[in-house]
Amino acid sequence: MNEVCFRTRHLPNPASLETYRSIGGYETLKRLVTEKVPAAEIINQVKLSGLRGRGGAGFPTGLKWSFMPRYYDGPKYVICNTDEGEPGTFKDRDIIRYNPHQVIEGMAIAAYAMGARVGYNYIHGEIWAEYLAFERALDEARAAGFLGEHLFGTDFSFDIYAHHGYGAYICGEETALIESIEGKKGQPRFKPPFPASYGLYGRPTNVNNTESYASIPYILQYGGQAFQDLGVPGSGGTKIFSVSGHVEKPGNYEIGMGTPFPKLLELAGGVWKGRKLKAVIPGGSSTAVVPGEIMMQCTMDYDSIAKVGGSSLGAGSVIVMDETTDMVQVLNRLSYFYYEESCGQCTPCREGTGWLWRVVRRIAQGKGRPEDLDLLLDVSNNISGRTICALGDAAATPVISFIKHFRPEFEYYIQHGRSMVTG
């Protein structure tokens, strides 16, 4: 456990530069830069590692890096996405709390490989202490010569600005995040063009999640293959799973990809109060809910969660629900979240999220109507795939999956005006 991103966590003063250097921190950066290792070789190692984006979409990181134009006359940027705002997610906060230097080193390596001189870390507005801690880490790194002009006496220069948001979930979407850094209202841009061709200030930009960047130093220290071997084919490396909900020991667990779900549940102390597992949302609130018995057959990797669980690994935010959970109320809460957090820009999401929530709320208030469930599915399908960004899909997925797996609970509410579970 805790082999990659959390590798300083068991040490005293884990966030300090000293601690990070004691495990070989910044040596990799120094080697790559001073030995002038070609960018293509770095990107190849990242490809080999099987690292997939940890921000939720799981896009292969090495491939993403290769989209950045190699020869470009003008600035390019690397951006780290620490905006973590989805219900169930809380891993990036712990990464910058316990191991900020690994993120910095990862970004520096990325910058070196993609030819950027400036990086930004966009940090969620509601984790102020971590934002300040990250600023301190940047100061330390600058003072030690790991950020700034002419690093290690070479012609490679790189610096990072920490930027804190104000807590809007949508600013985690990479193009909304870019708009927000530019000082504009955080609203997603229509893609294409993707950030790699038109990103921050219209320049080529690479956006990765905090955990993705934090995995980079390890990959280049030990080789892509070593990272891949920590996981399973198709899902290389370790992954931090943020386990929350009805477990005895909620928290972050960094384990190899492919670990069976029961093992992860066991690490988290099992379902609390000796109760039975009812359902799991495996990847954060935007991923489909999975009934407990199916989840127990899954391993924690992209393929299994998709194929066996019918959901997705997302950001690895595992929300566990026990047998006493009222699924209608859970959906009510989730739908409210998406209704509140839609940026309001595009029609299906702006109008549809409010519609979904109001109908779910009505059912949860005991005022449901028989036609409501089909209406909810229809509205969800009308949002899905028709919006500018993925928030629309994120809002529709819980509705569709909750009704799919727990339809009787909804029907009971509609018929009896109260919960089948809590009475």
Site residues (vs ligand SF4, CB under 6 A): 170, 188, 342-346, 349-350, 387-389, 391-392
Please tell me the distance from the alpha carbon of residue 411 to that of residue 276, in angstroms, as a whole number. Answer: 23
Please tell me the distance from the alpha carbon of residue 121 to that of residue 84, in angstroms, as a whole number. Answer: 12
Q: How many residues does the chain have?
A: 423
Using CB under 6 A as the binding rule, the residues of this chain from 169 to 188 that contact ligand FMN are 169-170, 172-174
Radius of gyration of the CA atoms of the chain, in A:
22
Q: Which is nearer to ligand SF4, 95 or 315 (CB)?
A: 315
Closest by alpha carbon to 82, among 253, 195, 211? 211
CA 102 to chain centroid, in Å, comes to 17
Residue 150: how many other CB atoms lie within 10 Å? 10
Q: Which is nearer to ligand FMN, 207 or 271 (CB)?
A: 207
Residue 84 interacts with ligand FMN (CB under 6 A): yes or no: yes
Taking the complex as a whole, how short is the minimal distance between the CB of residue 73 and another protein, in angstroms? Answer: 12
Please tell me the distance from the alpha carbon of residue 408 to that of residue 393, in angstroms, as a whole number. Answer: 24
The one of ligand FMN, another protein, ligand SF4, none whose footprint includes residue 94, by CB under 5 to 8 A per kind, is: none
Taking the complex as a whole, how short is the minimal distance between the CB of residue 193 and ligand FMN, in angstroms? Answer: 15
Is residue 253 classed as helix, strand or coil in its secondary structure? strand
**Segment interacting with another protein, rule: CB under 8 A, options 129-137, 219-227, 244-252, 342-350:** 342-350
**Segment interacting with another protein, rule: CB under 8 A, options 157-165, 201-209, 215-223, 346-354:** 346-354
Is residue 387 classed as helix, strand or coil in its secondary structure? coil
Taking the complex as a whole, how short is the minimal distance between the CB of residue 388 and another protein, in angstroms? Answer: 6
Among 340, 415, 417, 422, indicate the residue that binds another protein (CB under 8 A). 340
Residue 298, C-beta contacts closer than 8 angstroms, at least 6 positions apart:
260, 261, 282, 290, 304, 305, 308, 309
Q: For 72, which DSSP code? A: -
H/E element holding 164?
strand 159-164
User: Residue 279 phi/psi, 5° resolution?
Assistant: -160, 160
Using CB under 8 A as the binding rule, the residues of this chain from 106 to 135 that contact another protein are none
Among 207, 265, 305, 363, indicate the residue that binds ligand FMN (CB under 6 A). 207
Residue 373 interacts with ligand FMN (CB under 6 A): yes or no: no
Residue 170 interacts with another protein (CB under 8 A): yes or no: yes
Please tell me the distance from the alpha carbon of residue 245 to that of residue 88, in angstroms, as a whole number. Answer: 9
Q: Which is nearer to ligand SF4, 142 or 350 (CB)?
A: 350
The residue ranges that bind another protein (CB under 8 A) are: 168, 170, 185, 190, 339-348, 350-355, 358-359, 362, 375, 382, 385-388
